[in-house]
Structure 1
């Protein structure tokens, strides 16, 4: 092969490579343009928001706090920000946000439940099982949720645990309520007063007063109390004080003694 033919062959190969590169670049540009046009169209606009596992909050409430807007491009939303928005609500413990193309976002929530009420300066704080303040209401009378009195507050903020002087006593009473729930005693308890750390006082909805001492063994206290109350109800005796301050030794005396 002559030098001329070799040069000509190299030029032809170079032209083919250049044409191939140009073709690839044109295809890439066309694909990118197509993607851009698709993203700018209403194909990926948010058309549906699905709220899952909400019991206390209404779906419209969760939608509102998520700060989602229908009709906006679904790919422009930051799922982390949506999660933070939803979890900012005191009744929501966790939120799971998922994007489902082309136009749906699902929000699954894990809610906090009202577990007890704490008296506070003429108002009532509704708290969950972890002691997080869910809200402040004027009404604290309910047949389902026990009232905790005697808590001493430093500061409080809705959505967070209250800053308490007697934090350890509140932790004890929450464990006591957990034991009551397990032993099916929650509906019996009207109030637990923790003004005296050495002697918690429980009041039933029948008006029976129960002295619990330091409430060191909540499971024993609730199971034993359940048995004592069954015996008292059997003989229709209610105007009494039950002394359970000493484990293994329970006394019942009439209130007028």
Structure 2
């Protein structure tokens, strides 16, 4: 190929490359302009917020916590920030946030479940299975939850785990609640007291008192207790103390006789 032909071929290539680069940069400009237009226009303004999975919290509480406002462009919202806002609410364990273009935001939550109630200085602290403080009320609401008494608080904050002096005993109490649910006797139990260092006191709604060692196997103990309570109720015996502190031994004594001893 002659020198003139080579130069001509190079010029053609340069012109072709220039056209390609020009088209590319123009595409970028139009793309950026389009994004800017969408962000500034009313076409993608948030108009609808869907909330799913809520039981304890209302839709309004979740939306307020998310800090979402209609008539703001849906693309201007940071989904991670919304998720963090929603999960700051004590009852929310996990939140999933999605956009549904052009005008809808979808919030799906997984809530924490009230698991037990701890009386404290005239108030009632509701905790979940992870011992996270969900709610504090001045009144004992009519809910089928077990009271855990004898808890020594250092501090507590809504949305955080309870900070207490006897965490091992509280763990055992929570395991007893879980086992009582599994054996279907949770509705019989009114209170679990963990004030003593060497044993746990369980009280039924009928006033039967049960003494359990702090090193018990919760599952085995609740199965055994179910049999004992069934037998007592069948014979209409209530004013007794059931001592299950010693492995393999269950003693039942009249409360008055126990107190005399």
Q: CA deviation at 1:12?
A: 7.2
Match of 2:90 in 1: 90
Write the distance in 2 (CA, Å) between the matches of 1:131 and 1:205.
Answer: 24
Deviation, structure 1 residue 100: 2.2
- Whole-Å separation in 2 of the counterparts to 1:23 and 1:248: 86
Partner of 1:114: 114
- CA drift of 1:235 comes to 1.2
Distance 2:194 2:9 in 1: 97
Gaps of 5+ in 1: none
1:105 maps onto 2:105 in alignment: yes
Residue 39 of structure 2 contacts residue 76 of structure 2 at CA under 8 Å; is this kept in 1? no
Residues 216 and 38 of structure 1: CA distance in aligned 2, closer, same or farther (over 3 Å): same
Gap change, CA 1:18 and 1:192, over 3 Å in 2:
closer
Question: Equivalent residue of 1:249, what SS?
Answer: coil
Tell me what 1:225 maps to.
225
What residue is the counterpart of 2:184 in the other structure?
184
Residue equivalent to 2:151: 151
Q: How many residues align?
A: 257
Instruction: Please tell me whether residue 55 in structure 1 is matched to residue 55 in structure 2.
Output: yes
Q: For the structure 1 residues 78 and 248, does the alpha-carbon distance in structure 2 shift closer, same or farther, using more than 3 Å as the test?
A: same
Post-superposition CA distance 1:80-139 (Å, at most 9, x none): 111110111111111111222222221111111111011111211111111111111112
Point out the more displaced range, 86-95 or 32-41. Answer: 32-41
Q: Name the residue aligned to 1:207.
A: 207
What is the alpha-carbon root mean square deviation over aligned residues? 2.4
- Distance in 1 between residues matched to 2:6 and 2:117, nearest whole Å: 93
Q: Normalised by the size of structure 1, how large is the TM-score?
A: 0.90
Moved more, 210-219 or 136-145: 136-145
Unaligned stretches of 5+ residues in structure 2: none
1:29/1:216 CA distance change after superposition, 3 Å: same
Assess if the C-alpha contact under 8 Å between 2:46 and 2:74 holds in 1: yes
Q: Give the alignment's TM-score, normalised by structure 2.
A: 0.89
Give per-residue Cα distances to partners, 1:51-81, cap 9 Å, x unaligned.
1111111111101100011121111111111
